[in-house]
Amino acid sequence: MPFADCQSGSEIAMVGSVSDPARFTMPLDIVPSVCPHDCPSTCALEVERLDAKTIGRVRGAGENSYTAGVVCAKTARYAERVHHKDRLTVPLLRTGPKGTGQFKEIGWDEALDRVADAFKAATAKYGPETVWPYYYAGTMGLVMRDGIHRLRHVMRYSGQDSTICIALTDAGWLAGHGVKRGLDPREMQDSDLIVMWGGNPVATQVNVMTHVAKARKERGAKLVHIDVYRNGTAEAADIFIMVRPGTDGALAAAVGHVLLKEGYADREYLARYTDFSPEVEAHYASRTPEWAEAICGVPAQEIVDFARLYGRSERAFMRVGYGFSRSRNGAAQLHAATCLPALAGKWKRKGGGALYSNSAIYPWNKTMIEGKDRIDPKVRLLDQSRIGPVLIGEPDALKGGPPVTAMLVQNTNPAVVAPEQNKVIQGLLREDLFLCVHEQLPTDTVRYADVVLPATTFLEHDDIYQGGGHTFVLMGAKAIEPYAQSRSNHEVLQGLAKRLGAEHPGFDMTAWELADWTLKASGLPDAATLKEQRWHDCVIPFERAHFLDGFGTPDKRFRFRPDWSAIGPGFAAMPSFPDHLDTIEKASEEHPFRMTTSPARQFLNTSFTEMPTSVAREIRPSLLMHPDDAAGLGIAEGSKVRVGNRRGDLLLHAKMFDGLRPGVVVAEGIWPNSRHVEGRGINVLVGADAAPPAGGAVFHDIAVWVRPE
């Protein structure tokens, strides 16, 4: 039974559409929910429920002071995903060669028996570490995302070092601040200047722009956007500063130079709250705007002008994004940028300071969800971003342990999203690798599975959520019945645990009971109360959010000179001061272009790439090129171009765009491999080397050649 290509952009088939009210079996009602996707906004939702199995439009909850009634267009049309004609309906067993998508239908008992038997056989041959449960953020619900750890810990299967998204930015923020929290994002409305650095919220976090709009309207605030090309947020900004990819640290260091030289530094604040020293000042003195211009491409006078604007704006809010986490020097870059609020004393005032993530404000006890009471520290931890090297058996990637010969994949699509895609595919094609994929739709990774299990969407199960980009815990209760025979992540883990003999109280609970236990153990409202309230605000006091009671470092001071050895094993590569770290994959004669794979407005990683409206708006995988670069290579608008480096190559369609620097190219979005001309996706070009100090994937740090086809 070869399955249809869900990424073809074909129209969806809905049961009981909005245009056919006669098919509804119950009156239209609005049910609360929470967006589960990998976005800091974690929006509070209001969902049109047309009947017990059908939804209509999805809207932002107007009563939530962060969501404020706004939701991205992707989520608003979520019915396209829930009711997609290619939703997986029953368990499947592979009948043809791996990668061909040839399956037959089987029952749930047979499917789970086969998975459990394969895990037992692999364990008998190589030991439990040969099994690697692999997951990520297809859902951000705590029960459904993190429950896979409970199985891992009880069975002593290989651990996962989840580096693919935030390892580098976490390292950079923690280096200076010591704890992962910052401003309440609602303080933006009290700001005079908002600096958006390393993110494109018009495309990826639209709620940020809602609060920017309030600040503009109520205070006349200015928006400064710093990025590598003129994207949607750049178009909306009052000032756009375009840096070369991977050079933000140089810009930040030069801004610090101007703040100190021209008297904008708050020396009283520096003495009281930071480790600022004559050595730090001497370092900044050497980082002139002219020095930075040669590295980042921003004219020296533009750097000076921005520094002066930042210096004289008492309430300056810096919102740093995950773009920093896509470059080999991302940790150093983010640290350098977030030194500026401390240098100028911006933390003292409401609307001033910085926000990266507020995830540390939540008092979670995840013992029951994750099985934390069963962790064995001796079990190896495999790097999620290095799944390619792991699967092809590179010794350093395997950490001295056995080969990975059995996997359960939930909430992620590694055949498309992981670096060094050629290695990933080579590994997934291994006949000695047993792969079970639990998914909603037939993704590229599903094509390599031995057993496929149909999964519920967030509307079809219970879960709880937190927002890294705000301060709320939210309840996402089941809104409609599961589609066909789909089962939740938790139900699959329960079924496997029973067959594997994995004993833990968490396996005996329902998803609702797990959520309730976790909420109570964390000192939060219980599940019933949270469902009634819809959300609970965990906002912390002003003094704590602004670090006026001290930073999270051992001496409670902000660190201009971080102890990188406390952050990760690659500390030796890190700079002693806020600086540009010259570890990026540089352009060369062989690879003359620097490339980033920036988010597409209509996609979120590989979520939404199957939705017809999203596909129609993004059109096809393309390469943004400066017209001068294209002309020099004889490349015309819309023509095919081959893009490559030593890792591999692929075909894209050229798209002329003067909103980037010559020598820089941008490929927006992670399109399915099957949507590319030759079936190879953009991540064939991305390296899987672990960036310092603690690893991380480097999707915006690529050197390539471009040739007309």
- DSSP secondary structure, 645-709, as one string: ETTEEEEEEEEE-SSB-TTEEE--S---GGGSTTS--GGGGS--PPPTTT----TT-EEEEEEE-
For residue 343, tell me if it sits in a domain.
Answer: yes
Task: Reply yes or no on whether the pLDDT at 18 is more than 90.
Answer: no
Residues 256 and 302 reside in one and the same domain: yes
CATH of residue 97's domain is 3.40.50.740
Query: What's the mean per-residue pLDDT of the chain?
Result: 95
Annotate 334-354 with b (16+ C-beta within 10 A) or e (fewer): bbbbbbbbbbbbbbbbbbbbb
What are φ and ψ of residue 10, in 5° steps? -70, 165
Per-residue pLDDT, 467: 95
Last residue of a domain, one of 293, 326, 355: 355
Residues 232 and 338 reside in one and the same domain: yes
What are the structure tokens assigned to 500, written together? 């594997």
When pLDDT is averaged across residues 29-58 and rounded to a whole number, the result is 96
The order of strands in the sheet holding 92-94 is 103-105, 92-94, 451-454, 434-439, 406-410, 131-135
- DSSP secondary structure, 340-355, as one string: HHHHTTGGGSTT-EEE
Confidence band (pLDDT; 50, 70, 90) for 381?
very high
Which helix H or strand E contains 427, and what residues bound it? helix 421-428
For residue 29, tell me if it sits in a domain.
Answer: no
Name the percent of the chain lying above pLDDT 70.
Answer: 96
Q: C-alpha 305: how far from its chain's center?
A: 32
What are the structure tokens assigned to 369, written together? 């969800």
For residue 7, tell me if it sits in a domain.
Answer: no
Q: What is the pLDDT of residues 621-639, one digit of tens each?
A: 999 999 999 999 999 999 9
Residues 285 and 265 reside in one and the same domain: yes
Confidence band (pLDDT; 50, 70, 90) for 556?
very high
Confidence band (pLDDT; 50, 70, 90) for 1?
low
Task: Reply yes or no on whether the pLDDT at 252 is more than 90.
Answer: yes
When pLDDT is averaged across residues 293-298 and rounded to a whole number, the result is 98
Residues 191 and 338 reside in one and the same domain: yes
Per-residue pLDDT, 235: 97
For residue 549, tell me if it sits in a domain.
Answer: no
Q: C-alpha 483: how far from its chain's center?
A: 27
For residue 225, tell me if it sits in a domain.
Answer: yes
Half-sphere exposure of 376 (CA within 13 A, CB side): 13
Task: Reply yes or no on whether the pLDDT at 21 is more than 50.
Answer: no
For residue 507, tell me if it sits in a domain.
Answer: yes
When pLDDT is averaged across residues 567-587 and rounded to a whole number, the result is 97
Task: Reply yes or no on whether the pLDDT at 45 is more than 70.
Answer: yes
Short-list 508, 463, 418, 414, CA closest to 154:
508
Residues 655 and 692 reside in one and the same domain: yes
For residue 63, tell me if it sits in a domain.
Answer: no
User: Whats the size of the chain, residue-wise?
Assistant: 709
Per-residue pLDDT, 6: 36
CATH of residue 661's domain is 2.40.40.20
Number of structural domains (the chain) is 3
Residues 325 and 368 reside in one and the same domain: no
Last residue of a domain, one of 305, 331, 355: 355
Task: Find where tokens 């001295």 sit.
Answer: 400
Residues 383 and 344 reside in one and the same domain: no
Confidence band (pLDDT; 50, 70, 90) for 28?
confident
Per-residue pLDDT, 215: 97
Residues 371 and 504 reside in one and the same domain: yes
What are φ and ψ of residue 42, in 5° steps? 40, 65
How far is residue 51 from each of residues 16, 362, 459, measured CA to CA in Å?
A: 8, 35, 13
Per-residue pLDDT, 7: 34
When pLDDT is averaged across residues 531-535 and rounded to a whole number, the result is 98
SS3 490: helix
Residues 346 and 228 reside in one and the same domain: yes
When pLDDT is averaged across residues 110-125 and rounded to a whole number, the result is 98
CATH of residue 289's domain is 3.40.228.10
Residues 261 and 138 reside in one and the same domain: no
Q: What is the pLDDT of residues 648-694, one digit of tens each?
A: 999 999 999 999 999 999 999 999 999 999 999 999 999 999 999 99
For residue 55, tell me if it sits in a domain.
Answer: no
Last residue of a domain, one of 331, 355, 379: 355
Name the percent of the chain lying above pLDDT 90.
Answer: 95
Q: 280: alpha, beta or left, given left = phi > 0 and alpha = psi -120 to 50?
A: alpha
Q: What is the pLDDT of residues 199-251, one digit of tens each?
A: 999 999 999 999 999 999 999 999 999 999 999 999 999 999 999 999 999 99
Confidence band (pLDDT; 50, 70, 90) for 523?
very high
How far, in Å, CA of 336 to CA of 172, rounded? Answer: 8
Residues 250 and 369 reside in one and the same domain: no
How many Å from the N-terminal Cα to the C-terminal Cα in the chain? 36
How far, in Å, CA of 452 to CA of 446, rounded? Answer: 7
Residues 342 and 458 reside in one and the same domain: no
Confidence band (pLDDT; 50, 70, 90) for 376?
very high
Domain that holds residue 254: 183-355
